[in-house]
Amino acid sequence: MNWSSRNLPLACFCLLAVALCFAAEEASALEIAIDVSPHVLNIQSNGTVVTVHTDISYSLVNAYTVYLNGVPIQSWKADDRGNFVAKFSMDEVKQLEGLAIGDYNTMQLVGVTTEGEPFVGEEDILVIDVLSRTR
């Protein structure tokens, strides 16, 4: 028996332990509620911004760490309640790989608080590809 075959179970255990550590880290993220606008994303629209309203306090968010399905934040502000609002380039969101046209797609907002705690929020939106007609 050579070294690699004797240590294969140990190597598998180590890989499993590392995977579980990453899963535990993701599971410990603070879950927040989000509201994505528009709720129906038309690939043919001339819109410029996808806005995400959250229920996390503006003062708690490190805005430079916020992404929507991998798209970096474009701008941000506080709403009337003091909660964080994020804005993203609609063109970049429309170009996300794997968008299912004519179906619901999960939009996931991720970021880190000013205390270093990861947070995550998800909402499904409908993605369509409809060319509007003028009369």
In whole angstroms, give the CA distance from residue 49 to residue 113.
23
In this structure, what CATH number is given to the domain that contains residue 61?
Answer: 2.60.40
- The reply to whether 135 falls in a domain is no
- The reply to whether 69 falls in a domain is yes
Token output for 7: 């240590």
Phi, psi of 122 (to 5 degrees): -135, 145
Global pTM value:
0.77
Structural domain range at position 16: 1-30
The amino acid that residue 131 corresponds to is L
- The reply to whether 113 falls in a domain is yes
What are the pLDDT digits (tens) for 68-116?
999 999 999 999 999 999 999 999 999 999 999 999 999 999 999 999 9
State how many domains the chain has: 2
CB 35 within 8 A of CB 123: yes
Q: Which three-class secondary structure state does DSSP give residue 120?
A: strand
* Residues 124, 74 share a domain: yes
- The reply to whether 133 falls in a domain is no
* Residues 55, 18 share a domain: no
CB 40 within 8 A of CB 125: yes
What are the pLDDT digits (tens) for 3-26?
444 544 444 343 434 344 444 445
* Residues 46, 26 share a domain: no
- The reply to whether 134 falls in a domain is no
